[in-house]
Amino acid sequence: MPAHAQQSPPTIRHHRIEEPAPEQNTDVDQAEDAMQKNDFATAEALLQKAVAAKPDDYRAWFDLGYVENALHRPDDAIAAYKKSIAAKPDVFESNLNLGLLLAKQGDEGDAAKYLKAATQLKPTAHPQESLARAWQALGRVQQSSDPQSAIVAFGQAAKLAPNDPGPHLAAAELLQKQGNLDAAAHEYQSAAELDSHSADALSGLASIYITQKKYADAETALRKNLAADPQNTAAQVQLARVLAAEGKDEEAAQALRSAMRADPGDPHAALELGTLDVKAGKNGDAEQEFRLAVQRLPSDADAHFALGSLLMREKKFPEAQRELIEAIQIKPDFAEAYSNLAVVSSENKNYDITLRALDDRAKYLPDTPATYFLRATTYDNLKAVPQAVEYYQRFLAADDGKFPDQEWQARHRLIALDPKHADKYEVKVK
């Protein structure tokens, strides 16, 4: 998730919503002086006295709402702001602060109501900036319930705060979730133009280009990101994936090694680098990298699968079997892991496991000549003759000359297992 999506809600700010006449020295005035000094206990006592004397004093209730929030009493703050709005509904700051508090409490429906009201009112101070905050806050609370309205709200915030990348980032993320990639890319680009060092904008833009398979554009965005922040290991890993997709495996490996120099224990970089090293035939390096990934990501099925598959290639069958079983326990629908487990368990003569793995694989993938042949040899080793004959026959029917060595073996085993029909299995010489 982009960093901007993890930021805390906007801070509730205090502004005097009515300037008293110079000669006045009311409890509310004294409370506001105490608030300026962060003496909230004194301010609370004065404001409680003021609202007791004048229950419809919207300014006193507004200040009390701010004080209660500062004292970490959100329910009391909400109640006070509601009293202020009941006394005078058209105050921007009351509606904004109440909306922000309700949003923080998770009451998005009521929060949207007050924030929407705030967007139609005139702030006391910094009107354009304050309205932008209101629109952006409204967009945030509408993201789940009314995403189209949220996008409109972010657009309004962007107009009012033309130098702030925040509304563009928020809109981009929402548009990306909706699958509107071109519009999302436009918003990310707008944010990047406002802040050329924005990791959120550049990584978001890159992720869209990757989805669209515009790898050259993704590479450009990621290199800009890394130029601004060379230690950004996530961007290094993302760049490596793009380079690999472009067929630039050596550059991809260099990017991953840079990521691992910055963070030697990064298991995701290790997993990616190990995959590239396997392609390059550097099995020893790949095994070290996959072991690091498994150590740091013990609940990651892909890490166990990668290590198990490499160990299978290295003919380290007992350990490969353990890793592949671990991958399947973590991810029970991992079809490729069942395929490899069937192979290594057969090599380990664990034929019951082989058959179970093939049965489980068949839930997700159709059988192939290779799986028919493996079933046949497994039943043959178990001396289950009828089943062995059936699957050797299925293999021959499906193979069509792709695996001539296995066809030769299948025919000779059928002649031995089913001698009554030996003439069916012999290759006729023309």
- Which CATH number goes with the domain that contains 78? 1.25.40.10
Tell how far CA 132 is from the center of its chain: 28
**pLDDT tens by residue, 328-370:** 999 999 999 999 999 999 999 999 999 999 999 999 999 999 9
**Number of domain units in the chain:** 2
CA distance 415 to 421: 7
From 130, 164, 198, the end of a domain falls on 164
pLDDT score for 2: 41
What confidence category does residue 7 fall into, taking pLDDT thresholds of 50, 70 and 90? very low
**pLDDT tens by residue, 287-298:** 999 999 999 999
Determine the average pLDDT of the residues in 25-52: 92
Which tokens is 122 given?
């005139």
In a domain? residue 352: no
Confirm if 94 and 17 have CB atoms less than 8 A apart.
yes
Q: Residue 51: which domain range?
A: 1-15+25-164
In a domain? residue 332: no
CA distance 246 to 213: 10
DSSP assigned state of 10? P
In a domain? residue 178: no
Checking if the pLDDT of 14 tops 80, the result is no
pLDDT score for 3: 40
**pLDDT tens by residue, 191-238:** 999 998 898 999 999 999 999 999 999 999 999 999 988 888 888 888
Which tokens is 267 given?
């298991």
Which tokens is 239 given?
């760049």
**pLDDT tens by residue, 61-77:** 999 999 999 999 999 99
pTM over 0.85: no
What confidence category does residue 425 fall into, taking pLDDT thresholds of 50, 70 and 90? confident
In a domain? residue 136: yes
What confidence category does residue 55 fall into, taking pLDDT thresholds of 50, 70 and 90? very high
CA distance 277 to 287: 9
From 138, 164, 190, the end of a domain falls on 164
In a domain? residue 134: yes
From 132, 164, 196, the end of a domain falls on 164
- Write the CA distances from 101 to 98, 110, 139, 144, 341, integer angstroms: 5, 10, 15, 18, 54
pLDDT score for 404: 93
The CA-CA-CA angle for residues 275, 279, 283, to 5°, reads: 75
Determine the average pLDDT of the residues in 24-40: 89
Burial of 211 (0-12, 13-18, 19+ CB in 10 A): middle
**pLDDT tens by residue, 68-122:** 999 999 999 999 999 999 999 999 999 999 999 999 999 999 999 999 999 999 9
Confirm if 338 and 357 have CB atoms less than 8 A apart.
yes
Q: What is the dihedral of CA 187, 193, 199, 205, to 10 degrees?
A: 40
What confidence category does residue 5 fall into, taking pLDDT thresholds of 50, 70 and 90? very low
Compute the mean pLDDT over every residue in the chain, rounded to the nearest whole number. Answer: 92
Confirm if 318 and 353 have CB atoms less than 8 A apart.
no
Checking if the pLDDT of 8 tops 70, the result is no
Which tokens is 298 given?
């013990």
- Write the CA distances from 382 to 356, 405, 414, integer angstroms: 14, 22, 15
In a domain? residue 33: yes
Tell me which residue has tokens 């805390």. 8
Determine the average pLDDT of the residues in 153-180: 96
Which tokens is 393 given?
């026959």
In a domain? residue 93: yes
**pLDDT tens by residue, 127-164:** 999 999 999 999 999 999 999 999 999 999 999 999 99
Checking if the pLDDT of 15 tops 70, the result is no
CA distance 225 to 2: 14
pLDDT score for 6: 37
In a domain? residue 54: yes
Query: Closest by alpha carbon to 345, among 372, 391, 308?
Result: 308
